Amino acid sequence: MSKLMISVSGIRGVVGKTFTPPVIQKFAAAFGLTMGKRIVVGRDTRVSGSMVENLVTGMLNSVGCDVISLGIAPTPTIQLAVENLRADGGLAITASHNPVEWNALKLIGPDGLFLDEDLGKQVANRAEDHEFVHQDWTGIGKIEYYDSAIEEHQRAILDLPFIDVAALRKRKFCVALDCVNGAGSVFFPKFLKSLGCEVIEINTTPNGIFPHTPEPLPENLSELMEAAKSPDVDIAFATDPDADRLAIISEKAEPLVEEYTLAIAVDYILSKRVGKVVVNASTSLAIDDIADRYDVPVIRTKVGEAHVAKRMREEEAVIGGEGNGGVILPDIHYGRDAPIAAAIALQHLLEFGGPISELRQSLPQYVIAKMKMDIGDSDPDRILEQVKSAHEGEEISLIDGVKILREKSWIHLRKSNTEPIIRVYAEAQTGSEAESLADLFLLEISSNL
Ligand code: MG
């Protein structure tokens, strides 16, 4: 599959196949003209990144925009810089967890959030219609190289009132770290050392050669799990190539599963301040159980950072994010942020006093089974409609696809916008229960094909 994917938050494709210079240029020009004069540009470490950056910067300059260039930086750092530098928008050049042949432009608004639907459509339409004029030599924009964004982001986290830097430095956690040679490599080692950690670095050379499949899922983290077997290691962290998602491995070299990155953050933040929590529709019930302990509501949105972030701002939530390891802390900004997730995990571990495996055990226990069904030419909306009517009388949420809510379990069915599949996620208190629930609904879908 190498279709160019256009969504409200950007465009994504395979470099040289669908993500080509003409495509990149028209989106960069359309974005600049839609957003305004000053545009922040940053990228992850992908080998194609500097080529894409040159195209983007040249095109922005040619339509009269000034570019503030951050070079290699995590996506959350780019989002925060857009806000801090009062720019009119930002472009993050990264295909996030996608493999090395992919790249993408993520479109950021002046508030540091990914573009909402209206603005995203404006940019896409303008790009499609080639609705832009190039400046003559008097109107060409400038480039400014800005190299303090990472330091400012780190400083903001160290200054959080609940991060006890002195106590963390005294504790000297030993952390194994895998940044998959992505943008986390230019942030995490120094950041963890500033929190007093001894860091065992794996894949922290920012060369964009991903030594394993870059999504930070347990099956891709065998090297890190091997390193975590050392008796010195207290905790291990893995990031995806643009460092917005964080996965945690225990001192027993066992993955906590990404859902528990957010669960740990929610558990910690609610212990410090009581308030609303916002998560996406597929996020673990562990969050609801933790919120119950503090008697605060959990609000659910469609899947996707833009939806969660926007709702968090509207609800004045104290913490939120997505179950895939994306923690959003409004104290700093409304973006999924792996460094923030890591700092909260370390602080929580410090105050907990025991090992991370025990902290994980102290949280509500759930397992999500993630499956998908190829539906060929069948209409996904019709299938979802049939499943919905077959379960009339049960509690159903239609926020995003069809989600059937039961006591301590749920089944969530969503169509894909890019592939002929329906995703079937099921959560329950044990893995076998979750799997049999998901299997049951796969069967139900196949009987409706
Ligand atoms: Mg990412």
How many CA atoms, within 13 angstroms, populate the side-chain half-sphere of residue 211? 15
CA distance 381 to 387: 10
Q: Are residues 61 and 21 in the same domain?
A: yes
**Domain count of the chain?**
3
Work out the angle at residue 277's Cα, subtended by the Cα atoms of residues 273 and 279, and round it to the nearest 5 degrees. Answer: 150
Range of the domain at 237: 152-361
CA distance 346 to 47: 32
CA of 72 to the centre of ligand 1 (A): 14
Q: Are residues 93 and 237 in the same domain?
A: no
User: Residue 96 catalytic?
Assistant: yes
Q: Are residues 177 and 307 in the same domain?
A: yes
Rg, the chain, Cα only: 22
φ/ψ region of 82 (left if φ > 0, alpha if ψ in -120 to 50, else beta) reads alpha
Residue 67: partners with Cβ closer than 8 Å, 6 or more residues away = 39, 40, 41, 57, 60, 61, 141, 142, 143, 144
Which stretches does DSSP call E strand in 379-420?
395-397, 402-406, 409-415
Q: Which of 96, 185, 250, 284 is catalytic?
A: 96
- Is the pLDDT score of 3 beyond 80? no
Residue 448, H or E segment: helix 431-448
Residue 348: partners with Cβ closer than 8 Å, 6 or more residues away = 264, 265, 267, 268, 359
CA distance 433 to 382: 27
CA of 231 to the centre of ligand 1 (A): 30
Taking only the tens place, the pLDDT of each residue in 325-355 is 999 999 999 999 999 999 999 999 999 999 9
CA distance 326 to 96: 12
DSSP type of residue 195: T
CA of 313 to the centre of ligand 1 (A): 21
CA of 214 to the centre of ligand 1 (A): 10
CA of 184 to the centre of ligand 1 (A): 10
Structure token digits, residue 447: 């009987």
Q: Are residues 88 and 108 in the same domain?
A: yes
CA distance 31 to 26: 8
Q: Are residues 201 and 251 in the same domain?
A: yes
Residue 116 has a pLDDT of 85
3-state secondary structure of 26: helix
CA of 196 to the centre of ligand 1 (A): 26
Residue 444 has a pLDDT of 94
CA of 42 to the centre of ligand 1 (A): 14
Instruction: CATH number of the domain at 102, please.
Output: 3.40.120.10
CA of 240 to the centre of ligand 1 (A): 6
- Give the pTM: 0.96
Which of 131, 147, 163 marks a domain boundary?
147
Q: Show the 3-state SS of 63-101.
A: CCCEEEEEEECCHHHHHHHHHHCCCCEEEEECCCCCCCC
Taking only the tens place, the pLDDT of each residue in 309-320 is 999 999 999 999
Residue 334 has a pLDDT of 97
How many CA atoms, within 13 angstroms, populate the side-chain half-sphere of residue 172? 3
In the predicted model, what is the mean pLDDT of residues 391-411?
A: 96
In the predicted model, what is the mean pLDDT of residues 413-441?
A: 94
Residue 8 has a pLDDT of 66
CA of 210 to the centre of ligand 1 (A): 14
Which of 147, 163, 186 marks a domain boundary?
147
Q: Are residues 171 and 278 in the same domain?
A: yes
DSSP type of residue 430: S
CA distance 88 to 110: 5
Q: Are residues 173 and 134 in the same domain?
A: no
CA distance 406 to 426: 11
CA of 319 to the centre of ligand 1 (A): 19
CB atoms within 10 A of CB 57: 19
In the predicted model, what is the mean pLDDT of residues 358-368?
A: 97
Pairing of strands 298-301, 277-280: parallel
Confidence at 449, pLDDT banded by 50, 70, 90: confident
Q: In the block, which residue shows the tokens 């995806």? A: 240
Which of 361, 380, 397 marks a domain boundary?
361
Alpha helix ranges (H) inside 129-276: 149-158, 165-171, 188-194, 222-228, 259-272
Q: In the block, which residue shows the tokens 């833009």? A: 306
Q: Are residues 357 and 371 in the same domain?
A: no
CA of 133 to the centre of ligand 1 (A): 33
CA of 100 to the centre of ligand 1 (A): 13
CA of 324 to the centre of ligand 1 (A): 10
Q: Is the dihedral of CA 49, 53, 55, 56 positive or negative?
A: positive
Residue 2 has a pLDDT of 61
Residue 314: partners with Cβ closer than 8 Å, 6 or more residues away = none
- Is the pLDDT score of 1 beyond 70? no
Residue 329 · residue 340 · CB < 8 Å: yes
Instruction: CATH number of the domain at 429, please.
Output: 3.30.310.50
Q: Are residues 36 and 127 in the same domain?
A: yes
Paired residues of 63 in beta bridges: none
Residue 61 has a pLDDT of 98
Q: Are residues 183 and 203 in the same domain?
A: yes
Q: Amino acid identity, residue 268? A: Y
Share of the chain above pLDDT 70, in %: 99
φ/ψ region of 130 (left if φ > 0, alpha if ψ in -120 to 50, else beta) reads left
Q: Are residues 237 and 299 in the same domain?
A: yes
CA of 22 to the centre of ligand 1 (A): 25
Q: Are residues 220 and 335 in the same domain?
A: yes
DSSP 233-251: -SEEEEE-TTS--EEEE-T
CA distance 230 to 234: 9
Report the chain's mean pLDDT, rounded to a whole number. Answer: 96
CA distance 180 to 391: 43
* Burial class of residue 313 in the structure, from the number of CB atoms within 10 Å of its CB (0-12 exposed, 13-18 middle, 19+ buried): middle
Taking only the tens place, the pLDDT of each residue in 158-178 is 999 999 999 999 999 999 999
Pairing of strands 319-322, 277-280: parallel
Residue 31 · residue 39 · CB < 8 Å: yes
CA of 251 to the centre of ligand 1 (A): 25
